[in-house]
Structure 1
Amino acid sequence: MSERLADVGRRIGTVRQLGAVVNAMRGIAGARAQQSRALLPAIRAYAETAGRAIGQARQLTTNPSPSGGVPPGKPGLIVFGAEQGFAGAFAEQVLNAAAGEFAGAHVLLVGGRAASLAGERDLPIAWQTSLPGRAAALADMATAIVEALYDYLADAGPVVVAMVFPVWKASQGVSVVRRTLLPLDTQAFPSGDSRNVPLINLPPALLLESLAQEYVFAQLCEAAAEAFAAENEARMATMAAAKTNIDDKLQALQLEERLTRQDEITAEVVELAAGARSRRRNHDL
């Protein structure tokens, strides 16, 4: 076998190995996205339940929280970015959507890849954590965010807190959502039937505060699940495009291999024919 044909064979083997890696990454991303999607209905039901409870508990308070005005102080900003690469422009897209707010906010950033890109751009980050590799660990991460957020609020007071997170839609790809998290407008939750006042064993103000914390936690869990699913969906799309390119490259190499083998066979036939003619001439002499 010639050196050229051996080189083409090695390249084909390398491309096939790369294709296997891409398929594995695509499969892992698909499984993770599906796991995260499966969590969203329960998370949203949890948030709706907490919201209804807030509306009912509001009937028990004599001084409901005001819904207007903007609290003073440096606002908080929770950004759910990318944890890893191999997801196309996903990491840059999410960070670009929130980059303009970094300078004037206390930023809590989720995602190792997002933190690396923010460092390259000299964007200030007050706190950072990683997006877990398992959907089951998203609640623990949301708990860590809540603790960091409340530590900041203990010093800064009742400031505005917003969160920015990606959402994936099959027909549209990634879109970035910005949602106000705090202050929580309790007046926005329906109070229900005023004749059915719930029985409680906590002071109304403490109950309302506890329910508000549960609602905030549910909102963070939803944003984390959406971000986790969006990153893996983006990775699936990127790996699908990579697989198409790999298949095209493999077909081109296989064609080159066939042509190379054909050229070598032709060259051998020509060489054998030339040798046969030479022997006949020598025999005639």
Structure 2
Amino acid sequence: MTRLSEIQNHIASMDELLEIVGAMRSLAGIRVQEAQHALPGIRSYADSMAAGIGSALLLMPQPVPETHQELSRRALILCAAEHGFVGGFNERMLETAEAILEPADLLFVLGSRGAALAFERGRKVAWTRPMATRPSGAPDAVNHLTSEIYGRIARGEIVRVDVMFGRYRQGAASTIERRLLLPLDTATLVAKPARQVPLHNLPPRPLLEKLMAEYVFALLTEAAVESIASENAARFAAMESAHDNVSKKLAGLQENARQARQTEITSELLDLITGAEAMHVDSRRVIRSSKAP
């Protein structure tokens, strides 16, 4: 195989790679937009549940007492990436989590890649589950998570729950945020100014518990969807960089192909000229031989 043929085969491979990278970049961009479109509705639902809690607190004969227990038995929920090609996204998330984790804390990880990285670093993971890849899958992942959390709370294994996630910022780097989920700070949720006691069909305490559960569910769903947006923003940036690198290499290969093609053309011309001169010399010899006595 000639050098030109080898270069052309390499160019064909790079063209395919460029298409794959471009498709992954486009898909990541679509996922970011999906998450951004879903977040306002999720936040609106969380606000509605917060307002409902504030109203339900008016039904209680006295303020719900806040639980002040040791903070060592804490669960930290880490929202990490489910798939690869996200640069240092998982590393940054895990490093930030490790900076605040105490020896007795439990680490819960949403995201297979984040859990795998934690295991590689020797960090014990109490519970893990794949992160949703689209906003529509976030509620299912959160349902499994809350079932595990509430079960451990009922068994007295944890008394505090925090969630850590990446928040996407358009035109800027994603930030890492930590939010206290449980126990709820009911003081900030009390209706201000105090409104009329609402009408209700459930007893006050079960009603309040259901509203709190829905509020926590909404906050966790928001964190998961924010993480989906951040993960795909990181993937988009990685694919953008890869696309630029592949494009540069492809341009270099195309230039090499032009040079190789020119070299082959030059070589063929030289062969033609050399052959023509040889034929001219042979013809002169034949003429001289025919004229000889």
Q: Tell me the TM-score normalised to structure 1 length.
A: 0.94
1:244 corresponding residue in structure 2: 244
**Counterpart of 1:156 in 2: which secondary structure?**
coil
Aligned to 1:86: 85
Aligned counterpart, 1:110:
110
- When residues 104 and 71 of structure 1 are mapped into structure 2, their CA distance, relative to the original with a 3 A threshold, is closer
Count of matched residue pairs: 284
1:60 aligns with 2:59: yes
What is the match of residue 182 of structure 1?
182
C-alpha contact (below 8 Å) 1:82/1:91 kept by paired residues: yes
Question: Counterparts of 1:192-203 in structure 2 under 5 Å?
Answer: 192-203=192-203
Q: Which residue of 1 aligns with 2:232?
A: 232
Q: In structure 1, give the amino acid aligned to 2:130.
A: S
CA contact (8 A) 2:74 2:158 kept: no
Structure 1 residue 70: Cα displacement:
4.5
How far 1:284 moved relative to its partner? 3.1
- Secondary structure of the corresponding residue to residue 114 of structure 2: helix
Paired AA for residue 135 in structure 2? A
Map of 1:279 onto structure 2: 279
1:180 is paired with a residue of what secondary structure? strand
Give the aligned residue type for 1:45: S
Q: How does 1:1-285 map to 2 (within 5 A)?
A: 3-67=2-66, 69-100=68-99, 101=101, 103-156=103-156, 159-285=159-285
Distance 2:72 2:252 in 1: 61
Aligned Cα RMSD in Å? 1.7
Identity in percent: 37
**SS of corresponding position for 2:155:** helix
Q: Distance in 2 between matches of 1:37 and 1:104?
A: 36
* Range with bigger deviation, 22-31 or 258-267: 22-31
Change (3 A) 1:102 1:120: farther
Query: Are the equivalent residues in 1 in contact too, given 2:56–2:208 (CA < 8 A)?
Result: yes
Indicate if the aligned counterparts of 1:56 and 1:192 stay in contact, CA closer than 8 A. no
In structure 2, runs of 5+ residues without a counterpart are 286-293
Helix, strand or coil for the counterpart of 2:199?
A: coil
2:129 partner letter: T
Q: CA deviation at 1:275?
A: 1.9
Structure 1 residue runs of 4 or more that deviate by more than 6 Å after TM superposition: none
CA contact (8 A) 1:78 1:164 kept: yes
SS of structure 1 residue aligned to 2:91? helix
Range moving further from structure 2, 63-72 or 170-179:
63-72
1:206 and 1:64 map into 2 onto residues whose CA distance is: 15
TM-score w.r.t. length of structure 2: 0.91
Distance 1:270 1:202 in 2: 97
Distance 2:14 2:125 in 1: 40
> 1:177 and 1:38 mapped to 2: Cα distance?
20
Q: Which moved more, 1:206-215 or 1:43-52?
A: 206-215
* Preserved CA contact (<8 Å) 1:102 1:125: no
